[in-house]
Each structure stands twice: as C-alpha cells, then as structure tokens.
C-alpha cells in the first residue's frame, strides 16, 4: 500500500503530557469508514499510525513502554492532516517533484524515530492522550529500537495478512471489519475485482527523514 481516537478502547493509562522520543512501529489500513464533518455524514479511507515512546524514564507501571496512535484520512491534499504531519516529521514541505507514479511505500515509516508532543483532553471522568506534533529528530540522533515488533497491515488483497489481523484487539478488528474493503476480501473474486482507490497521490522523495532503520540500543 502506497502513500483519531487516542486508544483502541478499554482500560488504559494515558501517555503523560510532554515531548518524548518515539519510534513508529505500526501502520494499519482501516479501510473506508463512516464519519462526520461539520455536522454532515462523510465516508473516507482511514489509516492509523502508532508510535512507541522510547524514553527509558517514561514507562507504564508494569515497565512496558507507552504507545499512542493517531488516525488519518488517507489523503495527501495540501490541507490534509496526514500531509502536514509527514511534512513536520520530514522537516520540510512537499513539492510537486516529490509526487510520482510509483508513490511512497508507507512501510518505510516503520522504525523511523521522531519527537512526539503529547497533550491531554478530558471527557467525563476519563483523560485521553493526543498527539499534538510529530517532529523530525535532530541530525545524527538515531531512533531508539522499539520493544514492540514492527507491524504493517493493508487491506489490499495482495498484501492482506490474516495473522497480523488476528493479532489486533477485538475493538480494532471490529473497526476494520466494518469497512467495505475488508468485507470484499471474503468474496471469492476479491483479488480480481479490487480496484485501489485514488486518494490524491502519495509522497516520494522523503529519503532525508531518513527512512532507514538506524536504531540505538
């Protein structure tokens, strides 16, 4: 595949507020989801990126690392949140020359470090962590290796992996199952009939993030 709620549900400990080193460890294609925009119903292809907080002094009570996710509309329109996030992450804006026929393989995002800024919002008696910024690491500052394994999940029939899907939480599986892309996978002719959607192009020329796994630890 070429190219938010803060948690997947259930009880959780929110990531503390602040700015932390983090590493992207998961990309999930959520398929086309129903939603709302300015009070009107809207459907759009969604993806989710997940990061692991790799600061050794910021851990959950059980010693495991915090993780945090954000959902994005699968669009590279100049005003899209995904594009703005990737531009902040890479440290510069996209130019027309960055877009090409081949597109950008989103698997290159996995294992790439950044600084995440996290803020809290409160709804009722619950506090949620939300990502307010994703910023490029300074030159020469390698990403910390995440404890979580790198996960890539696509609803493209040629890339769909049932074992990866089965490893998701029940809530996340339910979200994906609601998409027409997942439902089409159950049809015998899914691979033959599938037509990849056009969501405005995907970025290339992001080598200078750099998208190479240079981990410390």
pLDDT-based confidence at residue 5 (cuts at 50, 70, 90): very low
The pLDDT, as a whole number, for residue 100 is 61
Give the number of domains in the chain: 1
| 119 within some domain | yes
Among residues of the chain, what percentage have pLDDT more than 90?
A: 55
Residue 212 lies in a domain: no
154 part of a folded domain: yes
How many Cα atoms are found within 13 Å in the side-chain-facing hemisphere of 78? 5
Is 39 a residue whose pLDDT tops 70?
A: yes
Q: Write phi, then psi, for 86 (nearest 5 degrees).
A: -70, -35
Q: What is the mean pLDDT of the chain?
A: 82
Say if CB 58 and CB 42 are below 8 A apart: no
Strand partners, 37: 40
CA angle 174, 166, 158 (to 5 degrees): 95
48 located within any domain: yes
Residue 4 domain-assigned (yes or no): no
pLDDT at residue 194 tops 70? no
Q: What percent of the chain is modeled with pLDDT above 70?
A: 76
Parent domain of 167: 18-203
* Mean pLDDT in residue range 115-123: 93
Q: Does the structure show a pLDDT above 70 at 178?
A: yes
Taking the C-alpha atoms of residue 188 and residue 22, their distance in angstroms, rounded to an integer, is 41
- Is the pLDDT assigned to residue 28 strictly greater than 90? yes
**Is 1 among the domain residues?**
no
Instruction: Select the more confidently predicted residue: 108 or 147.
Output: 147
As a whole number of Å, the end-to-end CA separation of the chain is: 30
pLDDT higher than 50, residue 63? yes
- Where is pLDDT greater, at 182 or 142? 182
- Asked if the structure places residue 7 within a domain, the reply is no
Q: Is 118 left (phi over 0), alpha (psi -120 to 50) or beta?
A: beta
The closest of 55, 37, 54, 46 to 5, measured between CA atoms, is 46
How would residue 217 be classed by pLDDT, with cut points 50, 70 and 90? very low
């Amino acid at each position: 595949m070429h190219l938010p709620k803060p948690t997947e549900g259930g009880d959780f400990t929110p990531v503390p507020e602040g700015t932390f080193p983090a590493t992207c460890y998961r990309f999930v294609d959520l398929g086309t989801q129903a939603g709302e925009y300015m009070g009107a119903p809207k459907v759009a292809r969604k993806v989710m990126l997940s990061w692991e907080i790799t600061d050794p002094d910021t851990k959950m009570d059980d010693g495991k690392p915090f993780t945090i996710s954000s959902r994005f509309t699968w669009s590279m329109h100049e005003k899209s949140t995904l594009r703005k996030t990737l531009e902040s992450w890479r440290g510069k804006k996209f130019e027309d020359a960055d877009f090409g026929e081949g597109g950008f393989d989103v698997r290159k995002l996995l294992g790439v470090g950044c600084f995440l800024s996290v803020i809290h919002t409160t709804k009722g008696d619950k506090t949620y962590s939300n990502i307010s910024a994703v910023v490029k690491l300074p030159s020469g500052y390698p990403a910390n290796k995440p404890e979580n394994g790198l996960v890539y999940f696509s609803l493209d029939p040629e890339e769909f992996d049932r074992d990866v899907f089965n490893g998701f939480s029940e809530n996340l599986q339910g979200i994906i199952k609601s998409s027409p892309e997942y439902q089409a996978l159950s049809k015998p002719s899914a691979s033959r009939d599938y037509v990849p959607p056009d969501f405005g192009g995907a970025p290339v020329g992001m080598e200078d993030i750099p998208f190479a796994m240079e981990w410390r630890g």
